[in-house]
Amino acid sequence: MPPLPLYLQIADQYQRIIHAGGLKRGDRFPSIRHIMQTQQVSMSTAVQACHVLEDWGLLRAKPRAGYFVENTDAHQPVASGLRPAANDTTAKPQQDLSQRYDGLHQFISEWMAKAEQYPVSIDFMTAVAAPRSYPTAQLNRAAASVLRQHPDILTTFARRYGHPKLRTVLARRSAERGMTLQAGDLTITHGCIEALNLALRAVCSKGDVVAVESPTFYGVLQALEAQGLQPLEIPTSAEHGLSLDALEMALDSQQPPVRAVICMPTLHNPLGCSMSDANKEALVALCRRYQVPLIEDDIYAQTSAEHVHSKPAKAWDSDGSVIYCSSLNKILAPGLRLGWMAAGRWQARVEMLKYSQSRYLDELGQLTAATFMDSQAYDRYLARFQARLQQLRQRAVQAIAQHFGNQVQMLDPTGGMMLWLRLPDHVPALQLSQLALEQGVLTSPGPMFSSKPRMAHFLRMSFGAVSEEQIEQGIAILAECMARLAAAPTSH
Amino acid sequence: MPPLPLYLQIADQYQRIIHAGGLKRGDRFPSIRHIMQTQQVSMSTAVQACHVLEDWGLLRAKPRAGYFVENTDAHQPVASGLRPAANDTTAKPQQDLSQRYDGLHQFISEWMAKAEQYPVSIDFMTAVAAPRSYPTAQLNRAAASVLRQHPDILTTFARRYGHPKLRTVLARRSAERGMTLQAGDLTITHGCIEALNLALRAVCSKGDVVAVESPTFYGVLQALEAQGLQPLEIPTSAEHGLSLDALEMALDSQQPPVRAVICMPTLHNPLGCSMSDANKEALVALCRRYQVPLIEDDIYAQTSAEHVHSKPAKAWDSDGSVIYCSSLNKILAPGLRLGWMAAGRWQARVEMLKYSQSRYLDELGQLTAATFMDSQAYDRYLARFQARLQQLRQRAVQAIAQHFGNQVQMLDPTGGMMLWLRLPDHVPALQLSQLALEQGVLTSPGPMFSSKPRMAHFLRMSFGAVSEEQIEQGIAILAECMARLAAAPTSH
């Protein structure tokens, strides 16, 4: 057996101490600083060791107070590894929170599990806007009206492929962005994430390679891993988006070959950038030339007045080779969970997979959205919504400049609800996020957005769900945490 | 290349005639009887040939009038096979309806595509009750009240794992049936079908063998096929349900080994039978002994007063090895699309797969259901609902006895909303269903419920969604069709 990594050796030492009675339930556990000094290790190693002890149920983190010894009965020998295999039917029932995320992109999973364990007062992670930014009262009136006009809607079997009225409205509004879609070309899904999953199931088989942007939305990496697909990360710049040169090289020579490309050409998550029209057109042509389906995720475009009429890549799709995926979660109503897709030549297969996987959506939500989106009130709302996000974005950009000065680099995005920060080289995003989380400030550390260890010094901040005051306060706390980290020793 | 099957040879002959101008757009196509006589083939072969020509876009069926030549531009060479491979990226965009079901359990798919092409006046296929049997007005009031009390519900990000109130009510009510579940043990899903899919994804990998009842719910066969899993059909009797002897033999000796068992122990679909308590307990013990997860589908139990307090197999699950799946679609509100599951030791993995696949459900529907189910009005409603279904069931049983006499065999089920009929040996269910569909009566032919050619002379009839008058009228039409079939020649 190879030697254990350093952090596991340290975790193992401490579990022996705890089991030998050297530390009792309720005792304060040595601080990270103390572990670094006594063990002569880096902060990263000390933090990892504590995470492992937490995973084993031996420690519990208390916000702003540090770690405490939790349960001295818990015990898991180091040699068995950290996590039981997902299919191991002889494993004990899985109880602890961290195992909720078992087997899927370990870093993302660990961070999400951790985020659930702390009381969060300022949420810079959830990428939606606050209810007051959405047309809450208007949607409620629409819902009540749908219930009056369709009294059997809750007790009637939902119709196939989605409600015709919603499909019609979405098709009509997609024309405003240069797409020529009919209602019959659309499938309504449970959010954009189901659309992306269905697109992958339709065009890929287990083991296939899928080209993704680097960085990319972590949900894409999770979906790939859950379906047994391999991400191939294509360099993506914060100015121009996906590198077409790099993609072409991959399409040309990658073995095993690339079976699909997933891309967010407009208001990319997490970068916030958009590809030019010329590059979108070239992307579609490139994928067509190599006969590889392009899966387009377009959920953020309409969060910005500047992009509300921008064309998605799908607008250049002449032969059905682009699978367009979008949703109303960001721009209209996160609580309705409505996504949609236009799967082109794979529509038949997508519809059958959708039927087989989850049947059709309830119609109350679909008709509520369709009723509102069919009116001019929707356009007026959208303009207000975009202005509100712009306001919050400007406030966040200002606060970052004020608190961080030139220590962080950031592209001032033209829309969306997130910022992508490059931290100084001596500040690892994970430690910064961890420290901030202990202060109740939740962010998304860069490593969530890549399957490679490339984004260690980046941080995504969403500002849609918070107030101006929270932006000020949260960014001040982040700056404080960064100063503390910068003062700490970093080598061992 | 092997010789083409007879029906394809005949289809090919006719497409040549059509393309040569021998039959023009709008012309009436020769009748099934004519094809049988001139080509000296069975009705089955003639019908299949017409289906193929329909798939190619050359024929269109008109209810009660036969086939007409549709589009003489449509053409697909026989040698290329009927269906483009699902992953064939060079295939033309898929337009025609039958291809919606491409690649998933061909027989089921073809029948569902066909059912969409005819105007149906009496629906014996959809297995839900009519809106008037459900508590429509009470649910609407509950929904309106939820909207008033939670004005931000449509514009707030849904919380994880399902709404706590619904999980609590479901856990509490599951205690009435002998299950000891906490709210935290439950995951809310998009109908039972998503629960079954998640269960399979959690415990199986592509290529694995899954034991299923024979016959079984066609949605199970579709889910298996869509996930690349292999069904192993275990003999299942209309009196006692799944054969435990046969299952034990399969668990003992099947290679590759059985990785999961899917079972409907109470009010089986389509058989309508229930296993005894002793057999349910033995089933759980058997699966535990072989360390194979048991996936239980329990959606029909509460459709019957006789079974409302019956225990599911999960009640005997002491170590989390039963994945319990259920839904409110049958017993409360088909339009809410609410399912739920208690995945035992696989809960962590199921929750992550659910997150990765479709995130969480909208909360308006969840709170609406929870509000109503939390009241005693729910119990009173359920008793009325069960009585109504019993009324319809009795009417259907009487009508069948009256119109078919002893020509069909049927188990008089103790609950549920379906009957499973055994037709005479000279009456193939598919032809009977096809003839009836042409008269506007939709049924589910037996072959949908098996991946083997075993159920050719069975028919499932659901009676929940129809009125007494429709039961009378529909069964009379079925009897008429059967008489016509019995008079037709059956060999070639």
> Of A114, A94, A96, nearest to B347 (Cα)?
A94
The 10s digit of each residue's pLDDT in B279-318 is: 999 999 999 999 999 999 999 999 999 887 899 999 999 9
Q: Is the pLDDT of residue A220 over 80?
A: yes
Q: How confident is the model at residue A233 (pLDDT cuts 50, 70, 90)?
A: very high
* DSSP collapsed to 3 states, B139-184: HHHHHHHHHHHCCCCCCCCCCCCCCHHHHHHHHHHHHCCCCCCCHH
Place of tokens 């599990």: A113
Domains and CATH numbers, chain B: 6-82 (1.10.10.10), 122-131+379-487 (3.90.1150.10), 134-374 (3.40.640.10)
- Answer positive or negative: Cα dihedral of A187, A221, B89, A288: positive
> Of A202, A247, A253, nearest to A223 (Cα)?
A202
Q: Is the pLDDT of residue A122 over 90?
A: yes
Q: Are A374 and A169 in contact, with CB atoms under 8 Å apart? A: yes
pLDDT at A4: 62
**CA–CA gap between residue A243 and residue A367 (Å, rounded):** 40
Chain B residues with CB-CB distance to A221 below 8 A? none
Q: What is the dihedral of CA A449, A455, A457, A458, to 10 degrees?
A: -40
Least confident of A428-442, B49-63, B365-379: B49-63
Alpha helices in A150-229 (DSSP H): 164-175, 191-203, 218-226
Side chain identity at residue A378, one-letter code: Y
Angle at the Cα of B405 from the Cα atoms of B399 and B410, rounded to 5 degrees: 75
Buried b (16+ CB within 10 A) or exposed e, B35-50: bbeebebbbbbbbbbb
Q: Indicate which of B89, B159, B287, B346 best probes the interface with A, i.e. most A CBs within 10 Å of its own CB.
A: B89
Distance from CA of B15 to the nearest CA of A (A): 24
pLDDT at B75: 41
Q: Report percent pLDDT > 70 for chain B.
A: 91
pLDDT at A32: 82
Q: Are A182 and A158 in contact, with CB atoms under 8 Å apart? A: no
Distance from CA of B353 to the nearest CA of A (A): 7
Tell me how far CA of residue B233 lies from CA of B54, B236, B376, in angstroms: 32, 9, 41
Q: What is the mean pLDDT of residues A209-218?
A: 96
Chain A residues with CB-CB distance to B131 below 8 A? 152, 155-156
Q: How confident is the model at residue A386 (pLDDT cuts 50, 70, 90)?
A: very high
Nearest residue on chain B to A134, judged by CA atoms? B155
pLDDT at B56: 72
Nearest residue on chain A to B116, judged by CA atoms? A160
Asked if B359 and A337 come within 8 Å (Cβ–Cβ), the reply is yes
Q: Report percent pLDDT > 90 for chain B.
A: 67
Q: Are A200 and A190 in contact, with CB atoms under 8 Å apart? A: no
pLDDT at A414: 81
Distance from CA of A245 to the nearest CA of B (A): 23
Tokens representing B163 are 């709404």
Asked if A321 and B153 come within 8 Å (Cβ–Cβ), the reply is no
Top-confidence residue, B374 or B10: B374
Size of interface A-B (CB pairs under 8 A): 242
Nearest residue on chain B to A99, judged by CA atoms? B348
Place of tokens 């910068």: A486
What DSSP character marks residue B261?
Answer: E
Tokens representing B282 are 């033995």
Distance from CA of B303 to the nearest CA of A (A): 15
pLDDT at A102: 43
Distance from CA of A302 to the nearest CA of B (A): 17
- Answer positive or negative: Cα dihedral of A40, A41, A42, A43: negative
Strand partners, B284: none
Top-confidence residue, B152 or A348: B152
Tokens representing A238 are 């914060």
Least confident of A403-417, B124-138, B327-341, B431-445: A403-417
* Positions of E strands within A167-279: 186-190, 209-214, 230-237, 241-242, 258-263
Q: What is the mean pLDDT of residues B243-266?
A: 94
Burial class (CB in 10 A: 0-12, 13-18, 19+), A424: middle
Q: How confident is the model at residue A342 (pLDDT cuts 50, 70, 90)?
A: very high
Half-sphere exposure of B132 (CA within 13 A, CB side): 4
State the pairing for strand pair B209-214/B258-263: parallel
Q: What is the mean pLDDT of residues B469-476?
A: 97
Omega before residue A334 within 30° of 0, cis: no
The 10s digit of each residue's pLDDT in A6-57 is: 777 788 788 877 877 778 888 888 888 888 877 878 777 788 788 778 767 7
Tokens representing A237 are 């710049």
Chain A residues with CB-CB distance to B359 below 8 A? 190-191, 193, 337
Q: Are A318 and A119 in contact, with CB atoms under 8 Å apart? A: no
DSSP, collapsed to helix, strand or coil, labels residue A406 as helix
Burial class (CB in 10 A: 0-12, 13-18, 19+), A203: buried
Least confident of A431-440, B82-91, B481-490: B82-91
Q: Is the pLDDT of residue A388 over 60?
A: yes
Tokens representing B330 are 């049958």
Q: What is the mean pLDDT of residues B223-246?
A: 93
Buried b (16+ CB within 10 A) or exposed e, B66-81: bbebbebebebebeee
Q: Is the pLDDT of residue A298 over 50?
A: yes
Q: Report percent pLDDT > 90 for chain A.
A: 67
The 10s digit of each residue's pLDDT in B136-187 is: 999 999 999 999 999 999 999 888 889 999 999 999 999 999 999 999 999 9
Of A103, A154, A348, the CB nearest to B143: A154
pLDDT at A33: 81
DSSP, collapsed to helix, strand or coil, labels residue A394 as helix
Q: What is the mean pLDDT of residues A226-232?
A: 93
**CA–CA gap between residue B269 and residue B460 (Å, rounded):** 9
User: Which secondary-structure segment (H or E) carries B20?
Assistant: none
Asked if A140 and B157 come within 8 Å (Cβ–Cβ), the reply is no
The 10s digit of each residue's pLDDT in A83-118 is: 322 333 333 333 333 334 444 567 787 888 888 889
Q: Is the pLDDT of residue A286 over 50?
A: yes
Q: What is the mean pLDDT of residues A245-254?
A: 93
Nearest residue on chain A to B112, judged by CA atoms? A352
Q: Is the pLDDT of residue B453 over 80?
A: no
Half-sphere exposure of A133 (CA within 13 A, CB side): 28
pLDDT at B77: 33
Chain B residues with CB-CB distance to A193 below 8 A? 356-359
Of A155, A291, A349, the CB nearest to B102: A349
Q: Are B364 and A364 in contact, with CB atoms under 8 Å apart? A: yes
Q: Is the pLDDT of residue B445 over 90?
A: yes
Distance from CA of A446 to the nearest CA of B (A): 19
List strands edge to edge, sheet with A338-342. Answer: A186-190, A338-342, A322-327, A294-297, A258-263, A209-214, A230-237, A241-242
Chain B residues with CB-CB distance to A346 below 8 A? 94
